[in-house]
Amino acid sequence: MTSRERWLALLSRERPDRIPTDYQATPEVTARLLRDLDCADEPALWKRLHIDRRKILEPKWKLPHHPDDPGADMWGIRYRKADYGAGVYDEPVHMPLAGAETVDEVHAHAWPSPDDFDYEAITRAVEADDGTYPVHVGVYEPFLLYGYLRGLERAFEDLLLRPEVAGAILGHIYEFYEEYNRRSFEAGRGRIDTTYVAEDLGAQTGPLMSLKTYRRFLLPNQKRMADLARSFGIHVMYHTDGAARQFLPDLIDVVGIEILNPIQWRCPGMEREKLVADFGERVIFHGSIDNQQTLAFGTVDDVVREVRQSVEIYRGARWICAPCHNIQPVSPTENIVAMYETIQELGGL
């Protein structure tokens, strides 16, 4: 089977020739793996490690910079490079809606337009694609963006103290992405396999918000975005970190997600056995190999043991083997290789 055929087999409730795999890592990790494994490019790396990676496509932004701020992205957010020793990440330092107090101020913000993108970039890519890997287009993660626009502390405060401001900001984000994703899906010409509807709903020890708050501010538009994807025959993945157990019935039964990522099973309520027992008939599990402890600080034997455990736990369910979130530079190359070599060895059993 090709990588795409493995993913589609799982989505059709059929048995693939082996357990599919996926990959998430920081750019520094990918660059190191290319060097350590003597791979000329990323496709060579996927082949070397038997990775069934999604091919992620997106339209091209046609503007050179934000119309009002040359140093900002299309939302008006400015970032700085933060060095954490083994690499860098983009940290927001200017939140353009941080001082907004009224709905009128929210409406007056220079919101991006879906007209400012070349969607034919997706069409050209799918027309040139050979069909080996699944094609992924689009992500809708509104509250993450909200936190960058507003500042994370104020964003959470808004949900309780300024609900009208929260509704206005989330409404603008949804209106943009509804049209942006629609045009992206149309440009895919029926060749898009998956999309992300996402939001981090869990922290390490419990939910980030109440179920009532989630249902009021996020659930309705998540369902609309998932329905939009389904109208194009696109399968819906969902990303949430942490202890998000209380949200899963709504995500599966209302939003209609088909793939759940990343399964941080050491968080309360996210134990693999319980998830399989409660939801194994209705959703595909994606991820699950712990990158906070096992991949980062464990031995090769620890990694092999965890992959073996997961194979047994998910035997009665559907699973895509991958790290639970981006592999960080602290994870040794030998641990990463052990994860993929072990699932290649056991994945067809």
Predicted confidence (pLDDT) per residue in 294-345, tens digit? 999 999 999 999 999 999 999 989 999 999 999 999 999 999 999 999 999 9
- The pLDDT tens digits of the residues spanning 35-61 come to 999 999 999 999 999 999 999 999 999
The whole-number average pLDDT for the span 112-135 is 97
**What was the pLDDT predicted at 348?**
80
Cβ–Cβ under 8 Å, residues 49 and 337: yes
Taking alpha carbons only, the member of 156, 244, 257 closest to residue 200 is 244
The whole-number average pLDDT for the span 203-209 is 97
Type of residue numbered 109: H
The whole-number average pLDDT for the span 261-277 is 97
- The pLDDT tens digits of the residues spanning 142-195 come to 999 999 999 999 999 999 999 999 999 999 999 999 999 999 999 999 999 999
The whole-number average pLDDT for the span 247-269 is 98
Percent of the chain with pLDDT over 70: 100
Helix 219-231 vs helix 163-187: angle between axes, to the nearest 10 degrees? 10
**What was the pLDDT predicted at 131?**
96
Which residues have C-beta within 8 Å of that of residue 333, sequence separation ≥ 6? Answer: 32, 33, 36, 37
Percent of the chain with pLDDT over 90: 96
Type of residue numbered 127: E
Which residues have C-beta within 8 Å of that of residue 295, sequence separation ≥ 6? Answer: 289, 303, 323, 327, 331, 335, 336, 339
- Position 86 pLDDT exceeds 90: no
The span from the CA of 206 to the CA of 258, in Å, is: 23
Taking alpha carbons only, the member of 318, 349, 145 closest to residue 235 is 318
- Position 200 pLDDT exceeds 70: yes
Instruction: Report the CATH number of the 3-59+109-346 domain.
Output: 3.20.20.210
- Position 347 pLDDT exceeds 90: no
Domain definitions of the chain by residue range = 3-59+109-346
**What was the pLDDT predicted at 150?**
98
Taking alpha carbons only, the member of 271, 274, 285 closest to residue 317 is 285
Q: What is the mean pLDDT of the chain?
A: 97
Q: Which residue has the tokens 């206005």?
A: 168
- Position 3 pLDDT exceeds 70: yes
**What was the pLDDT predicted at 349?**
65
